Amino acid sequence: MYRLPVTRHLGRPAAWAALLAAAALAGGLLTPATASAAPTPASGTRAPASGTRAAHATAAITPPQHDPFYKPPAGWAATAPGTILRSRPVNLAALGFLPQNVQAWQVLYRTTGYNGKPMATVTTLVRPSGPAPQAVVSYQIAEDASAPQCAPSYALRPGVNPGNAVNQAELVLIDTVVAKGFAVSIPDYEGPDGEFGAPDQPGYAILDGLRAAMKFHPLGLPGAGTPAAIWGYSGGSLASGWAAQVQPSYAPDINLRGVAVGGFVTNLAQVLTTVNGGIAAGLIPSALPGLLRADPALATAIHPYLTAAGQGLLAKAGSQCETTNVTDYPFLNISNYLTEPLATVLALPAVQSAMAPLNLGGSAPDTPMFVYHAVNDELVPIAGPDAIVPAYCAQGDSITYYRDDLSDHATLAIIGAPAALAWISQRLDGGTPPRGCTTTTVPSMLLIPPGLASLPSFLTAIVAALLDQPIGPGNIF
């Protein structure tokens, strides 16, 4: 079987990339598609289906930091959160070379930064083929990086550097949502400066991306009040968790039916300590530059302990995407780049004080949640969700929590997805919301009834995506 050099990491397992590459080999699909740079139309323009290989031109895709599309127009800061500032149709490709047969657009919209100031960011909107969608899902890709070119809006386009390979693989999972007939918003929730780990702000970006989606006429949604759900795994779960927490106060107008999170990141210090020195240790210098940008207090507390080599490491890794960093820095011990061991630095009162607001749990969501986590997760300790689920429940939340006894972080990303998708579909299709909280430890989420029932359609949607078929309800093969 074809294998990538990276085997595990915080945002998404490289097993995703290996799985998709193997499927592509089996289907004879390893002819790379070239890129397409579409002109910017008015926001009402419908994008052509992006899946046909003939639709892909040879023009290179311009990275966000050099693309004028990402720069907001004059007067944008005075607009309301969720306002559409600019849009254009785009083509999408899994792993950078497998065209996806969907209609897709990029939308620049106004949102809010962690400091409360206006921010503009981009979401990628995807419309299923067939009837107009009646619901929308915001899917958070695990970006886990600090460079602008790692943003999903760029990573998901054809011909983009494989340093984004794992994020690009998540597009096939997104296709399973589109195959259910739901529209999808894929926000650049780290914002234009790649501020990984910022408090609150990812939630603002997700929620304002949903607002923009509901206003974007080509997507075909019913408008304000459209049923919405949120889904993310690992790095994407942290962002999704912020959206769940800030929604009651920031966006009560959104008809949020449910939030699904897997490999649930709730405490960044726990993850840093666990990942350090392991195969996925490159995630630390990948994400830390954005984290320090996002939190000046944390930067002030940590910078004095960075050696010159440590500063150079963060500068280099901060300009690269997660797959490259995990490949470049396996088994890295970040303590070797600090004047004190990592555990000592994390225990400093100033560091603990700065990091406390970066952790989830400060307030409780008021929408049902579906949480799934591997008991033996080697990257994101289960102690995090084991603590936050009862804390949320004590404040009146409704949470369905599955603890998978056999999976690790990598495998649960795939094995848990069918059950999560089934739960999301039930919420958006008007199913009775769950009441109260349940915590269940199972041998494998693949064997629970929701996962088993959803598996055939889940796998069929993935195959259709790999075979360049139109993606939507009733249009599989």
43 labelled catalytic: no
66's tokens: 């050099």
Q: Which residues contact 314 (CB under 8 A, 6 or more apart)?
A: 285, 288, 289, 292, 306
194 touches 146 (CB < 8 A) = yes
150's tokens: 């790692």
CB atoms closer than 10 angstroms to residue 404: 28
Q: Is 185 helix (H, G, I), strand (E, B) or coil?
A: strand
Distances (CA, A) of 300 to 80, 190, 297, 336: 33, 21, 5, 20
User: Which of these is catalytic: 43, 138, 234, 237?
Assistant: 234
452's tokens: 């088993």
Please give the full DSSP string across 388-423, using - where no structure is assigned.
Answer: HHHHHHHTT--EEEEEESS--HHHHHHHTHHHHHHH
CB atoms closer than 10 angstroms to residue 449: 9
377 labelled catalytic: yes
User: Which of these is catalytic: 144, 208, 377, 408?
Assistant: 377
Q: Identity (one letter) of the amino acid at 208?
A: D
The whole-angstrom separation of Cα 15 and Cα 414 is: 9
234 labelled catalytic: yes
46's tokens: 């419908």
CB atoms closer than 10 angstroms to residue 363: 13
Distances (CA, A) of 342 to 9, 283, 347: 19, 15, 9
User: Which of these is catalytic: 409, 425, 454, 457?
Assistant: 409
Q: Is 341 exposed, middle or buried (0-12, 13-18, 19+ CB in 10 A)?
A: middle
Q: Which residues contact 92 (CB under 8 A, 6 or more apart)?
A: 50, 99, 100, 102, 104, 124, 126, 156, 157, 158, 171
In the chain, the largest separation of any two C-alpha atoms, in whole Å, equals 60
DSSP secondary-structure letter at 170?
H
**Closest listed residue to residue 209, CA positions, set 109, 294, 92:** 109
418 touches 460 (CB < 8 A) = no
Q: Which residue numbers are catalytic?
A: 234, 377, 409
